[in-house]
């Protein structure tokens, strides 16, 4: 699919997410073993935007917008733009306020790939996603 | 003078189906017995604010106990030879045994989540022994919470369970309170949360039982948080619709753990229900 210009997971958005996550004092406490890469995929009717973010000991060290096939990741989150928009809202509505809530109650929100790796990193992953919530679109 | 809270903790021996249990409970206050049941994988510390609320304890004897395997209640002898899987039958018998052993006369039983489910069964089975029930996040059928990762050798169970349940709180609840509940959840033993969810999500189906509850005998109040995605407001609305004369409160800005995630807000929702329970 061609890339789209939606602001979620754009290069600019990802750069600001990286700054925000790496400045998080809690991640510096809990991220010691958070070394993995995962994808973030946003789809809409016309296009798909996919990026891979790679963490090294709790720091977001690499961002791969539009990754080539040789960029590996263990797992990823995939959802439509309208779902991601609700998740990243400043005051998220019920069922969209937490990725575990969406995994249980929002059918279009998908955890793909090796879910075991995702759950091994549940605490830091959960924190990272919540910190990214503070990134302005 | 030391700054002591009025809560008193003690141990109680109960026997259920020829099995002995050493049960830890805390209590405060005098009056109508209010027996409190914690959520899956947690313990009675969730009720510490209620136990310290003098407006409640001046007319209620508030009692909160730890289920076996939880908090300071040990597993029964031989626990290492059996997988912990809570069942509706065993849970029901244990709760009733506690109120009988304590000699509580027609208590109000208030439970959250899995406790909010079992109070429905208690009301169906023993309504003439009860003053009433207060169901926090009560559903008659709650599939979907169990997964094998909750007790898995490749996963840090404490961190997963605590993170898995953290988002059940409302985002607007005070961070320190949400984190406190995270900490409690991180302290359950291996497989205990999963064993509780076995009851809550796999063994429990009270959809027919709740139709037998007579609210002229046993009062029913149901309170569910707007942000609860385990027991959604619609799930509790279905319970309320099946129990004629029940009272339903959807708590805006609240999640799955009202008694601990945001007690100041919760007490405003709870107070009218306690008033209702106290009326003749």
Q: What is the pLDDT of residue A46?
A: 78
- Give contacts of B229 with chain A, Cβ < 8 Å: 94-95, 98, 101, 104-105
Instruction: Give the mean model confidence (pLDDT) for residues A87-91.
Output: 94
Instruction: Give the mean model confidence (pLDDT) for residues B177-181.
Output: 98
Instruction: Give the mean model confidence (pLDDT) for residues B210-233.
Output: 98
The percentage of residues in chain B with a pLDDT greater than 70, rounded to a whole number, is: 100
Of B163, B171, B230, the CB nearest to A123: B163
Q: What is the 3-state secondary structure (H, E, C) of chain B?
A: CCCCCCCEEEEEEEEECCEEEEEEEEEECCCEEEEEECCCCCCHHHHHHHHCCHHHHCCEEEEEECCCCCCCCCCCCCHHHCCCCCCHHHHHHHHHHHHHHCCCCCCEEEEECHHHHHHHHHHHHHHHHCCEEEEECCCCECCCCCCHHHHCCCCCHHHHHHHHHHCCCCCCCCHHHHHHHHHHHHCCCCCHHHHHHHHHHHHCECCCHHHHCCCCCCEEEEEEECCCCCCCHHHHHHHHHHCCCCEEEEECCCCCCHHHHCHHHHHHHHHHHHHHHHCC
Q: Which of B163, B158, B164, B160 is closest to B145 using CA atoms?
A: B164
Q: What is the pLDDT of residues B114-143, one digit of tens each?
A: 999 999 999 999 999 999 999 999 999 999
Instruction: Give the mean model confidence (pLDDT) for residues B6-22.
Output: 98
Please tell me the number of Cα atoms within 13 Å of A86 on its side-chain side: 16
ipTM: 0.94
Q: What is the pLDDT of residue B191?
A: 97
Interface of A with B in 92-111 (CB under 8 A): 92, 94-95, 97-101, 104-105
Of B155, B160, B226, the CB nearest to A94: B226
Q: What is the pLDDT of residues B239-252, one digit of tens each?
A: 999 999 999 999 99
Closest chain A CA to residue B158: A123
Mutation target among B147, B156, B226, B229 for the A interface, most CBs of A within 10 A: B229
Interface of B with A in 158-217 (CB under 8 A): 159-160, 162-164, 166-168, 170-171
pLDDT at B75 over 50: yes
Q: What is the pLDDT of residue A8?
A: 86
Does A32 lie at the interface with B, CB-CB under 8 angstroms?
A: no
Q: What is the pLDDT of residue A2?
A: 46
B19 phi, psi to nearest 5 deg:
-115, 130
- Give contacts of B168 with chain A, Cβ < 8 Å: 98, 101
pLDDT band, residue A1 (cuts 50/70/90): very low
Closest chain B CA to residue A89: B171
């Amino acid at each position: 699919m061609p890339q789209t210009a939606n602001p979620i997971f754009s290069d600019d958005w990802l750069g600001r997410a990286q700054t925000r996550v790496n400045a998080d004092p809690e991640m510096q406490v809990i991220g010691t073993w958070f070394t993995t890469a995962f994808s973030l995929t946003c789809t809409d009717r016309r296009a798909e935007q996919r990026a891979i973010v790679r963490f090294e000991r709790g720091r977001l060290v690499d961002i791969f917008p539009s990754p080539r096939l040789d960029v590996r990741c263990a797992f990823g989150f995939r959802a439509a733009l309208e779902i991601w928009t609700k998740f990243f809202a400043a005051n998220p509505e019920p069922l969209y306020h937490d990725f575990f809530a969406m995994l249980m109650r929002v059918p279009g929100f998908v955890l793909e790939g090796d879910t075991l790796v995702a759950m091994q990193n549940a605490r830091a992953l959960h924190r990272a996603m919540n910190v990214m919530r503070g990134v302005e679109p | 003078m030391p700054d002591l809270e009025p809560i008193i903790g003690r141990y109680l021996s109960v026997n259920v189906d020829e099995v002995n249990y050493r049960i830890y409970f805390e209590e405060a206050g005098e009056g109508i017995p209010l027996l409190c049941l914690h959520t899956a994988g947690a313990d009675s510390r969730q009720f510490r604010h209620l136990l310290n609320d003098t407006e409640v304890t001046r007319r209620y004897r508030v009692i909160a106990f730890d289920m076996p395997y939880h908090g300071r209640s040990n597993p029964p002898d031989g626990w290492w030879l059996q997988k912990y899987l809570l069942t509706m039958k065993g849970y029901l018998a244990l709760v009733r045994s506690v109120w009988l052993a304590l000699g509580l006369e027609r208590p109000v039983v208030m439970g959250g989540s899995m406790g909010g489910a079992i109070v429905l069964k208690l009301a169906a089975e023993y309504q003439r022994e009860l003053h009433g029930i207060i169901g926090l996040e009560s559903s008659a059928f709650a599939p979907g919470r169990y997964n094998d990762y909750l007790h898995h050798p490749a996963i840090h169970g404490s961190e997963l369970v605590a993170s898995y349940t953290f988002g059940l709180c409302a985002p607007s609840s005070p961070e320190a309170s949400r984190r406190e509940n995270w900490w409690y959840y991180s302290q359950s033993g291996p497989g205990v949360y999963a064993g509780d969810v076995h009851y809550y999500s796999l063994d429990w189906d009270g959809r027919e039982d709740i139709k037998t509850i007579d609210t002229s005998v046993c009062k029913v109040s149901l309170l569910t948080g707007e942000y609860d995605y385990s027991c959604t407001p619609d799930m509790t609305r279905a319970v309320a619709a099946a129990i004629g004369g029940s009272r339903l409160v959807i708590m805006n800005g609240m999640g799955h753990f009202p008694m601990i995630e945001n007690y100041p807000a919760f007490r405003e929702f709870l107070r009218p229900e306690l008033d209702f329970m106290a009326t003749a």
